[in-house]
Structure 1
Amino acid sequence: MSIVVGYIPTPEGEAALERAISEAAKAKAPLVVLNSTRGDVFVDKRFVQQDAAKELESRLAASGVEYTLVQPMGGHEAADDVLDAAEQHRAELIVIGLRRRTPVGKLIMGSTAQQILLQANCPVLAVKA
């Protein structure tokens, strides 16, 4: 069993990561940090690039939790990547960050968080920045 966190380098992603590290430490469970991109990794600011990935891995190592950093580049939706990682790593918990969106924004763009909340086969912890 593991804990999966959807991570992007934003205040919401940072809040999710900090909470996921805390939950993994309490549960003594491995942490799977998922950072995905739908587009070109070189221009997607949500995708952690090489130097930032090294910093992220140093931070995770310093936390003392067992971790895996997963960065799929298949062009899938982020929610699908999180749900796939949760299934593959037998997650007992998924942690995601939430950002404020208008009702119209949710209607037009959809909601990654909503998809994860509705389709996950395990509990989902949603945190605010």
Structure 2
Amino acid sequence: MTIVVGFVPTKEGRAALTRAVEEAKSRGSRLVVINSHRGGIDDETMRAAEDELRQATAEVEASGAQVEVRQLVRGNEPAEDLIAVASETDADLIVIGLRRRTPVGKLILGSNAQRILLDAPCAVLAVKG
């Protein structure tokens, strides 16, 4: 079994990672952590993202979960990368974090979240930050 989680260094991303670790441990699953960027970010931002990802990976490894980390900068939307990795790994679950929305914002989910929910090849668990 495999669980794919989208990680960004925000409270929503950390909540998704925390829940994905819980799910992986309870199911005895492998965890694939994806940090996806479209590209076009400066070196300082990229280094900060890499540092956050290393710290998150260390925390996951300390929990005893089996983890694989992929930092993707391929020009794709994060939703495309998560869906592709979920298909490639034959994932059983994708975990994503959702940020709080206004009443009007609730009508339309974020484009990445909406795409994952509609196009994922497996179940999707969306968590709040």
In structure 2, the residue matched to 1:15 is: 15
**Cα separation, 1, equivalents of 2:47 and 2:3:** 20
Q: Which runs of 5+ in 1 are unaligned?
A: none
1:2-81 equivalences under 5 Å are 2-42=2-42, 49-81=49-81
One-letter code aligned to 1:10: T
**Do the aligned residues in 2 keep the contact of 1:36 with 1:47 (CA within 8 Å)?**
no
**Cα separation, 2, equivalents of 1:32 and 1:48:** 20
* TM-score, length-scaled by structure 2: 0.87
The total of aligned residue pairs comes to 128
Q: Which runs of 5+ in 2 are unaligned?
A: none
Q: Secondary structure at the match of 1:127?
A: strand
Supply the RMSD in Å over aligned alpha carbons. 2.5
Identical columns (%):
45
**Do the aligned residues in 1 keep the contact of 2:9 with 2:52 (CA within 8 Å)?**
no
Return structure 1 stretches of 4+ with deviation > 4 angstroms: 43-48, 104-107
* TM-score, length-scaled by structure 1: 0.87
Structure 1 pair 74/57, CA: closer, same or farther in 2 (3 Å)?
A: same
**Do the aligned residues in 1 keep the contact of 2:15 with 2:127 (CA within 8 Å)?**
yes
Deviation for aligned residue 1:41: 4.1
Q: Secondary structure at the match of 2:36?
A: coil
One-letter code aligned to 1:86: A
Structure 1 pair 100/49, CA: closer, same or farther in 2 (3 Å)?
A: closer
One-letter code aligned to 2:27: A
One-letter code aligned to 1:75: G
Deviation for aligned residue 1:89: 1.1
**Cα separation, 2, equivalents of 1:53 and 1:37:** 13
